[in-house]
Amino acid sequence: MVAGICAGAVAAAVLAAGTGGAHGYWMRTDARFAPPSALVPSAAVTYDMALVPAAAWIEVSQRTEESGATTVKLRVDGLKPGHEYGVHVHQKPCAADPAAAGGHYQHEKGTDEAHVNAANEVWLDFTADDHGAGAASARHDWGFRQGEASSVVIHDMPGTHGTRVACFTVPFGWTAGTS
């Protein structure tokens, strides 16, 4: 019974969503982190309870304009005060295995420095304030391809070399004509 109520709350956490296309796309979703072993699964999974405690909060929003230009915003609360986190949009949904989220979403695919950067990927690095809250925003003149952006992964340090400490499965919308 409790599980049923909470599942409904998770579904309702997506406040508004449209389809990709000429009118753009807007989406905002939030959740509280839970470990993969939680009886009631969450779309937000923590792998490191010291850096991302259970019940810490995350919100992700996406606004894609008619041009395809896309802004992704992140807000968090309840994290470790003063800690610097690295955050990226990843390709696949979260699971109990931190590796399940796959690699970073990339506008143009490549593994060299020309491709692995905040201009070609969506980076949302932030430093938690004295109360454990944080925020970040990234805007690009491109949007996502269908099925290739599925989560936001939090790492234990900024940049691309951090360990994955949490993951939030997000219903990102795609830009029509790019799939």
Give the footprint of Cu ion on this chain (CB under 5 A). 88, 153
The C-alpha atoms of residue 161 and residue 88 are separated, in whole angstroms, by 12
**To the nearest whole angstrom, how small is the minimum distance from the Cβ of residue 155 to Cu ion?**
5
Nearer CB in complex with Cu ion: 75/88: 88
Q: Is-contact 48 36, C-beta < 8 A?
A: no
Nearer CB in complex with Cu ion: 6/116: 116
- DSSP summary character for residue 144: P
Classified as helix, coil or strand, 75 is strand
**To the nearest whole angstrom, how small is the minimum distance from the Cβ of residue 98 to Cu ion?**
10
Nearer CB in complex with Cu ion: 67/163: 163
**To the nearest whole angstrom, how small is the minimum distance from the Cβ of residue 90 to Cu ion?**
6
**Closest by alpha carbon to 62, among 122, 2, 5, 128?**
122
- The residue number with the shortest CB distance to Cu ion is 88
